[in-house]
Structure 1
């Protein structure tokens, strides 16, 4: 997968570790009993076990411990907020500094990838067929576990490659495409059938899946970034952040972005788009958010990274219209906001302040205000949802006995975090639920 011509786009933000660095860091670990780092990890990686194996030179065993718990452990070694999760729980955090768990995990999984190590094998065939709709972190996690249980698994993925957000939606200097593709390859090598470039409900009728498979797992994530709903969005130079990042990462190109870039939003995708533009050569990149720093949804380490890259931030500002010249963006008009009583999200509601309009010159505008929901397939399958969010129980079962769901399509604000590592854990849980269901189903 191409990552574009700009060398800074491919320049990783992580320092390469030497073997000596890794051994020294591994030997700092106290190998705690009932380790808090393991409990803090959503996939419950046995951190002391994988680090002990590094210390004794058993890198394959270490990689297996990591990937056993987290099927996308190589990606998570790069994108997880480790300072809030495993490293944040490390008992050495207050004494000196936490063990660099993320760096050690990255080193080990890189070793496994570079040496072509196959870590898992499929289980004895059960004769049951399972369809997984979506090949992102949740779908790959579910498919891998189901294949290891011996089920005949088929993934249907709309994109040309597997990996979902990890392959297409995270900037290359944070997560190179080949990392996500290696994780997908680990799943495919278990005998999982894959149909890419296929949208269920369009290229393949939903009814066909119901007839061909004993169970279905919905793991298709979310859709495009919603429009801002203001004049000027049709101008050249206005981008959907997801589309922008994908085109940069795959090398399709976005043309000239100019010197001044405005990013609307303050989540992790907004940060990715902003830092991407800085690395592409934009002189001034400013993120505008309708609330304040305290309410932004980006991880703290993402926010700090953006500031280090030279991204600027303007709070309590909402765009009113995008101005243009000769069909291309030239400026954005904003209005200042104030915070009022909390809204349905539990956060203070931003309210416009009359007479506070101001205009900012811009060559490119990127909207990053969340993602829309994909509901057409849900309606066809008669799946219960609320505001486009699939409703599942604690085992990720839907209202239909043979249909399950996991990942972003089940994510509801205020109920957990929409993290890659959470999607991986949900994939494992849903696989166990499908397995239990299939025990009661007659083979056809």
Structure 2
């Protein structure tokens, strides 16, 4: 990363912006890919497959790379994960497939770079043809609400089966968090839209963006208009801390700020704080903190109320933040925002600890961290009030309740992704939800009377 030390007015040379927001994990060369693929032992039990939420046959696609068959490798990946390109870039492979790799043990203690190889296969497939063909049209129609990873995966699989799909999305562009919620240096060169264009090439998918539905009123109408409905609507509501001064200018939601960075056409024109505090311990906290450093913030601190081990951000992500000059303070719980004449000056924290029973408690130690910008990265909650009058059952956490086939309590409605209470809130899990729901929906549609 280009140096941000001593930045005045929080502006960097043009070259620094280009360097700071270039691809942080560039693709492998053919030589590197062949060399790395030769390290795979093609294990018979292949623990890496079980560790992949979408069940990609990892040894199979790596073997094809070793045989200079990138198209074949890409086919293996895309059959299970149509968003394999973005997942290779953004998924925490270090705690999924790569953590399960047998090469982690002596004498090498270094896993095969599965994620980098997956990206290589997708990036080097022939672009002049789609790897899948659409079946004959069935005359059946499906509404997919939400053009994020879950909705896109569901739509593509159902379109392959010959069904007619209409995707509705409230944003001006499809992609969900891949387009709006991922650090800009992880998905560069408009990759999210390139991947979506590839998905749509299969045919049979009608995309309606800028179309915000009132599901409280319209969901039942959709179940009548379409033969089936898939909900991939994400979460939607940012959680609040409920603290004094939270509405002060300078206190923002992290995801909104990430969207601003991703959608801007001029990084130098963005407003950047000098002393930035990020509250939270997940990947979103890491993403916004590192981007603020790369935009020129002089000091960036991540404050988390529990230990480093309790952070949902992986050790790899934490190390990345430290390498970007971000300070991480565990055991810091915010209790108020320090303001004067409506201006933000800092955040007051109480230091926390675990009691003998392992419960988080406040201590009698307090500290104020100066800040002119604060980003809240404390997660999202499901906007359940949009279903206040229909029959969708919800779990205790308010998310949509689904069975093992992602079927909701409504007769022809399925759901997947962050809005359901299954798995972690990761892109790769959302893709798997959409894929499995599509398989169940296809079986349901085949049984309908003509």
Alignment of 1:29-428 (within 5 A): 29-94=40-105, 95-96=107-108, 97-112=110-125, 115=127, 117-176=129-188, 178-191=190-203, 192-201=205-214, 205-251=218-264, 255-340=270-355, 348-354=358-364, 356-386=365-395, 387-411=397-421, 416-428=423-435
CA distance in 2, matches of 1:298, 1:135: 25
CA distance in 2, matches of 1:203, 1:61: 45
- Greater shift, 428-437 or 193-202, is seen at 193-202
Q: Is 2:350–2:362's contact at 8 Å kept on the other side of the alignment?
A: yes
CA distance in 1, matches of 2:262, 2:128: 24
Structure 1 position 333, deviation (Å): 1.3
CA distance in 2, matches of 1:69, 1:341: 46
CA distance in 1, matches of 2:217, 2:78: 32
Aligned CA distance change for structure 1 residues 16 and 403 (closer, same or farther; 3 Å): closer
Partner of 2:21: 10
Structure 1 position 55, deviation (Å): 1.9
Q: Is 2:238–2:379's contact at 8 Å kept on the other side of the alignment?
A: yes
Partner of 2:448: 441
Q: Is 1:225–1:241's contact at 8 Å kept on the other side of the alignment?
A: no
Q: Is 1:224–1:242's contact at 8 Å kept on the other side of the alignment?
A: no
Q: CA RMSD in A?
A: 2.1
Kindly tell me the number of residue pairs found equivalent between the two proteins.
Answer: 429
TM-score for the superposition, normalised by structure 1: 0.91
CA distance in 1, matches of 2:388, 2:128: 42
Q: Is 1:200–1:377's contact at 8 Å kept on the other side of the alignment?
A: no
Which whole-Å deviations, capped at 9, do the CAs of 1:103-139 have from their partners, x for residues lacking one? 11111212248x4542222221111111111111111
TM-score for the superposition, normalised by structure 2: 0.90
Q: Is 1:50–1:63's contact at 8 Å kept on the other side of the alignment?
A: yes
- Unmatched tracts of structure 1, length 5 or more: 343-347
Q: Is 1:38–1:46's contact at 8 Å kept on the other side of the alignment?
A: yes
Q: Give the 4+ runs in structure 1 shifted more than 4 A.
A: none
- Unmatched tracts of structure 2, length 5 or more: 1-13
Structure 1 position 57, deviation (Å): 1.9
Aligned CA distance change for structure 1 residues 202 and 417 (closer, same or farther; 3 Å): closer
